[in-house]
Amino acid sequence: MIRIALIIGMVASCTLGHATTIVIGAKESVTRIKDAIALAQPGDTLLIKPGIYREGNIILQKPLTIKGEGYPVLDGENQYEIFTIHTNHAVIQGLKFINTGISSINDLAAIKLLESQQIKILQNKFENTFFGIYLANSSHVWIEENELQAQAEFEHQIGNGIHLWKCNNITIDKNKVVGHRDGIYFEFVTNSLITNNHSEGNMRYGLHFMFSNNDEYRNNTFMNNGAGVAVMYTKEVTMVNNSFIHNWGSSAYGLLLKDIRDSKITGNSFLENSVGIFMEGSSRNHIQQNKFYQNGYALKLQASCDDNIISKNNFQQNTFDLVTNGSLVLNKIEANYWDRYEGYDLNKDKTGDIPYRPISMYGTIVERMPQAILLWRSFLVLLLDKAEKAMPILTPENLMDVSPAMLPYDFN
């Protein structure tokens, strides 16, 4: 029964899909988008010709396809939200949104979806918008190949690039977000796929998500964001092949994990971050085959983490490979490559014969007294570290990699 209903529905939508196209432009019979929406039947296509459209807040409650030709500009005049959508089966494609209003009471956005489903937002451009794309209580939405750019100077003057609240089954692919507060923001978003996005120069986090289970992140790049990427209060997240590059500053993290469980972090590269990964209260995560290169701290593993497996990663040229704030060891660290490892491999199985202790004494001292960083790389510190290696007093004795790799893994 359901199947028949589905088929009828599909046939109906097909016939509707071939319905009329309404052309909007200064020289056309319809000059305003609002008029066109009022005229249109469900399933119609609105084709917007190039030009500047200043129509305040446009409310869309019909399943329409809205396409732009040559990027027509929709101007919010620094006052309005531009599109508010509450419908199913709509497409917004090829438009350019500029200058939405700024408000600290309402989250004004260029495109806001409220309780909508089956929406596609494709190849749009956003300039100087407060929130770019804002989804609330929606599902099955595709957000692809959009470019969002903002030039805010302060965090309170700007909203998030792509903001999702209480959504599921969302695909976010090949978008570029620059200069917003959070590049991509997720709260209560489940079963979603985030791929090939580029998030750069955002004031707060490149990607910020909370309470968002069963999501997958692949091939994204997070660069130069104020505080890197934060992932909190979530379980079963997959993060694969992402790049976390140059998130630099006194409170910046490549990846901040807080209360994360049963997640997989594989094949990512952490390059030149103040802290590669900061982990707090996280359990049962697999951190494997990642590349930590030239970070201040490659991994800050707080003592509140347990049962994590950290294996087969490359740690190269980091100032400190690993620091922690306790002596209890509940995580498994094995078969990583550490460029500071000085052991030998007698039986030639490419695994070092003596364990490696990744925590340097000086790392521990600096963790307690940040001013002590001043003596970094002095002869004294070298001696202290050597002495500590021979006879651990300050650093947890059992925290070690029992089978360190002799050669770096080749992940390319």
Partner 1 sequence: MTRIIKYIFYDILRTRFIIFYTAFLLVCTFAFFQIDGDFGKVVLSLMNIVLMAVPLVSVVFTTIHFFNSYEFIELMLAQPVNRRSVFLSEYIAVATSLCLAFVIGVGFPFALYGAWQSISTLLVTGIFLTLVFVSLAFFSSVLTRDKAKAIGVALLFWFYFSLIYDGLLLWVIYTFSDYPLEKLTLTLIAFNPIDLARIIMLLQLDISALMGYTGAFYKNFFGSNMGIFFSASLLMLWVFWPILVSMRIFSKKDL
- Contacts to partner 1 by CB under 8 A: 250, 272, 274, 294-296, 317-319, 368-383
CB of 241 to partner 1, least distance (A): 24
DSSP structure string for 230-275: EEEEEES-EEES-EEE---STT-EEEEEEEEES-EEES-EEES-SE
Residue 6 C-beta: closest distance to partner 1, Å: 57
How far apart (Å, rounded) are the C-alpha atoms in residues 325 and 281? 13
Q: Find the shortest distance in angstroms from Cβ 409 to partner 1.
A: 18
Smallest distance, Å, CB 311 to partner 1?
24
Please give the angle made by the CA atoms of 31, 37 and 41, to the nearest 5 degrees.
Answer: 125
Cβ at position 35, least distance to partner 1 in Å: 56
At position 237, the amino acid (one-letter code) is V
CB of 296 to partner 1, least distance (A): 4
Give the C-alpha separation, 334 to 356, whole Å. Answer: 10
Burial of 139 (0-12, 13-18, 19+ CB in 10 A): buried
Dmax of the chain from CA atoms?
85
Q: Smaller CB distance to partner 1: residue 201 or 296?
A: 296
Question: Residue 183 and residue 177: Cα distance in Å, rounded?
Answer: 6
Using an 8 Å Cβ cutoff, are 274 and 318 in contact?
A: no
CB of 382 to partner 1, least distance (A): 8
Nearer to partner 1 by Cβ, of 372 and 402: the residue is 372
Give the other-Cβ count within 10 Å of 284's Cβ.
Answer: 15
**Residue (5 or 380) nearer to partner 1, CB:** 380
Between residues 106 and 378, which has the closer beta carbon with respect to partner 1? 378
Amino acid code (one letter) for 118 = Q
Nearer to partner 1, 18 or 368 (CB): 368
- The DSSP H or E segment spanning 388 is helix 379-390
Q: Closest CB to partner 1 among 12 and 369? A: 369
By beta-carbon proximity to partner 1, the closer residue of 133 and 298 is 298
* 3 state DSSP class of 9: helix
Q: Name the residue nearer to partner 1 (CB basis): 250 or 412.
A: 250
Residue 250 C-beta: closest distance to partner 1, Å: 5
Closer by beta carbon to partner 1, 38 or else 383: 383
> For residues 266 and 55, what is the distance between their CA atoms, to the nearest angstrom?
47
CA-closest candidate to residue 182, choices 143, 152, 140, 142: 152
Q: Please, what is the minimum distance in Å from the beta carbon of residue 343 to partner 1?
A: 17
Determine the Cα–Cα distance for residues 120 and 85; give it in Å rounded to an integer.
Answer: 12
Q: How many CB atoms within 10 Å of residue 412? A: 4
Other CB atoms within 10 Å distance of the CB of residue 59 = 15
